[in-house]
Structure 1
Amino acid sequence: MSWQNDITGDEGKMMRFLSLALSVMLGLAASPAAASEFKIGGLTVETPWSRATPGKARSGVVYLTISNQGTAPDRLVSISTSVAKRAEIHRSQMKGSMMTMESIGALTLRPASSVLLRPGGLHVMLMGLQAPLKRGGSFDMTLKFEKSGSLTVKVAIEKIGASAPMRPH
């Protein structure tokens, strides 16, 4: 006789509910990483996402994490996408009481480390948008690394003003 047969009534219902809830949570926890990881050589790009843009906006942003599990440094030297005329790595920072942004050129990726591109810090700046970025959509973006080569990632578009991705990609 198994333990399940010994539990009846409300206790049995609660155990079945908890078992189902745990299965669902484990499934949700596993799916976003698998769906939004892109690899080339020792580099992994995780969870690329962007914010939707209002009608006539000419610029947008992309956030992501790049991890270098390799033993040698690499550099992100260029970015391209069909949704914008230009894409560059920018850094946002406070200077006095004003938030400023500047292009940093190439991004160095040290071995055994990660670089987080996030709101208020490093980010990909999309300039000359060809059309508005619409929530729920996605677009391809190609990252060119000095040593590892080119990697195309799929960027999910979140709501205007999002501070982090809200759904599995």
Structure 2
Amino acid sequence: MTPTPRFSRIASAVRRVLLLTLVLSPIAASAHEYYGLDFTLIHPWADATEEGQLASAPIYFTMESVRSKDRLVRVSTPYAESVEFRSSDAPSAKAIKSIDFAPADKLDFGKDRPHMVLRNLKVPLQWGRSYEMTMFFEKAPPMQVMVSVGAH
């Protein structure tokens, strides 16, 4: 039995779609973009912690397309007892109550800037793994994200 011309065209189209999906899926998987009402949160990340080092781990991220003022007021994760906000990585930096953000094209919450710190880790953060975290904002709804370790 030979395929009809119509069947051949459909099969060819399906093959092209599958190939395109395979080619683009690593790009989409590595993007780590999370969309809030008035902002895009880009790629939350952390460095791997050393085996046995469970005291703390800083978490960094970027925000883009911020269209209105808001603030990050709380964060929870099953991988740490608590999450605090710090004004920078400096040893003298104090804990802050929230991370405020205002309209901007791009905001970096990285080293030497406000960021999150996981306190009393329950497990070491391993390179190449991702860890779940929920971010709570004053205005925007809660956002569940995955923190990538070692990929930044």
How would you bin the TM-score normalised by the shorter chain? 0.7 to 0.9
Identity rate, percent: 30
- Aligned equivalents of 1:68 and 1:108: distance in 2? 15
CA RMSD of aligned residues (A): 2.3
Q: 1:89 to 1:67 in 2, by over 3 A?
A: farther
99-108 vs 81-90, which moves further: 99-108
Aligned positions, number:
128
Shift of 1:122: 2.1
Matched residue of 1:156: which SS? strand
1:64 to 61, 66, 78: 61
Whether the 8 Å CA contact 1:89–1:124 is kept in 2: the answer is: yes
Distance in 1 (alpha carbons) for counterparts of 2:110 and 2:121:
20
Asked if 1:81 is matched to 2:77, the reply is yes
Letter in structure 1 aligned against 2:118: L
Structure 2 unmatched runs, 5+:
1-22
Distance 1:68 1:147, change over 3 A: farther
Whole-Å separation in 1 of the counterparts to 2:89 and 2:47? 19
Match 1:117 to one of 103, 109, 116: 109
1:129 equivalent to 2:121? Answer: yes
Contact 1:68 / 1:109 at 8 angstroms: preserved in 2? no
Q: What is the CA-CA distance between 1:148 and the residue it aligns to?
A: 0.7
What is the Cα deviation at residue 107 of structure 1?
Answer: 1.5
For 1:45 and 1:110, locate their aligned partners in 2 and report how far apart those are by CA, in whole Å.
13
> Is contact 2:71-2:98 (8 Å) kept?
yes
Q: Deviations over 1:137-169 (max 9, x none)?
A: 1111111111111001111111xxxxx71xxxx
Specify every segment of 5 or more residues in structure 1 that has no aligned partner in the other structure, as ranges: 1-26, 159-163
Equivalent pair of 2:44/2:60 in contact (CA under 8 Å)? yes
Instruction: Tell me which amino acid in the other structure corresponds to 1:78.
Output: R
- Measured after TM superposition, the shift of residue 113 of structure 1 is 4.7
SS in 2 for 1:100: coil
Equivalent position amino acid for 1:131 in 2: V
Distance of 1:93 and 1:65 partners within structure 2: 16
Dislocated runs of 4+, deviation >3 Å: none
